[in-house]
Amino acid sequence: MASSSYYTPPLDGSLPAIWGALDWRAEHTPDDPWIVFPHREYSEEKMVLTFADCATASHRAAYGLHTARVDTQDGAVAAIFLNTDTVHYALLLTGIMRAGLIPLPIAPATSPEDVCTLLRNANCHRILTRSTACMYFRVSTVRALCSKRRYHLRVDEVPWLDFILPQLKNKDAATGLKEGPYPTNGKRHAPEDVAMYFQPPITERRQDPVTLTHKGIADWQRHLAERGERLKGTLWGAMSIPTCHPSGIVMQIFTPLATGMPIAVFSPKAPGKPTIPTPRNTMDLARALECTALVTTSDFLEEWAQDLEAIHTLSLMRIVCYTGPGLSPYTESSLASAGITMSSFGLDPAIETGVGSICWQTGEDTPSQSVLTENPLIYALRRHDSSVGLQ
């Protein structure tokens, strides 16, 4: 499923963040997979979205924003406040950036008060969402609070997945672009221009957005690409982390575009509610799609440590990364004794400092190869105390 070749796009900030790398892959490795998931109706069949498929879908998403009369003024900040599947979210975010907007992904569970504060701090006056049952009340509450604070806010609907990827609904649907590629405005980006904002960690009460420039994203991806070559051919099970969270964006978007390593996710259900990850359905999908690496949460690992079948499945993987608090001594011992290679995937210090702190270490690595970071202090502190946060 995953390609055994290893090619990387220019990661020096010369390409527009995200969609520039996607277009490069669509040109140079068009048939390599980005996203793998079970068929909507026939779960035993795999659906594969190649980089060429996703590039076309991102053009269609950008066009869809115009169809929905979304003002795509170049450089304007747009908050993505949406509860949807990884496939929909990733392609929508890419299309938003292609349309010239600066995305600010916000977790749908964020309190309305924090959303309003975050919008103001990011100078963001628009929300992109869908009026589903679960989001309508939240968006209405945010709009009412912003109005009370005399902060202008515009709410726009985003295109649904069936518009962005018509082949999901009808495999015989035409997937080409009748209008041609989404037009650029001719303006060239500067590497230091703002490309995206991250929502700050929940421990950061000021709700100041984290700024990522085109070059900043490219730097993250360059580190991923440099350390990822020894993991080429890996299919990452990334189904248990939300795409709206920085961890999800890094593993589900930054990593495949930088390294060419695909991700496995739950089948999209949009416009229905997305699948809620659990230890059981995550493990079942990892087995069904034959994932060779996994990124998950420490809570899931704590439960899998009680299950011999789950431990056996994890032991067959090249690497297991986890986010969240540190593991209990029992879990660490159980998994280590089974020969499972584990690495922490703590991003909070990375988010707050702009430095990656992902640890990818496989059985073939030497200690000097195992760290993905520019600052050894961050890694040392994380290993000493997983709750450490740096400003």
Give the CATH number of the domain where residue 330 resides.
Answer: 3.40.50.12780
65-92 average pLDDT score: 84
* pTM assigned to the model: 0.87
CB-based burial label for 388 (10 Å; 0-12, 13-18, 19+)? middle
> Is 152 domain-assigned?
yes
> Is 238 domain-assigned?
yes
Q: What is the pLDDT of residues 220-249, one digit of tens each?
A: 898 888 877 778 889 999 999 999 998 899
Q: What is the pLDDT of residues 32-69, one digit of tens each?
A: 999 999 987 666 789 999 999 999 999 999 999 876 55
Same domain (yes/no): 338, 279: yes
Range of the domain at 171: 52-209
Of 179, 209, 239, the domain-final residue = 209
Please check the confidence at residue 386 and state whether its pLDDT lies above 70.
Answer: no
How many domains does one find in the chain?
Answer: 2
Q: What is the pLDDT of residue 170?
A: 72
Q: Give the 3-state secondary structure of residue 118.
A: helix
User: What Cα–Cα distance (Å) separates residue 87 from each residue in 77, 93, 220?
Assistant: 22, 10, 22
> Is 16 domain-assigned?
no
Same domain (yes/no): 301, 369: yes
Q: Please give the Cα distance from 94 to 76 (Å, whole number).
A: 15
Q: What is the pLDDT of residues 124-180, one digit of tens each?
A: 999 999 887 778 899 999 999 999 999 999 999 999 898 999 988 776 665 667 777
User: What Cα–Cα distance (Å) separates residue 168 from each residue in 41, 56, 278?
Assistant: 10, 14, 25
Q: Please give the Cα distance from 235 to 289 (Å, whole number).
A: 9
Q: Give the 3-state secondary structure of residue 302.
A: helix
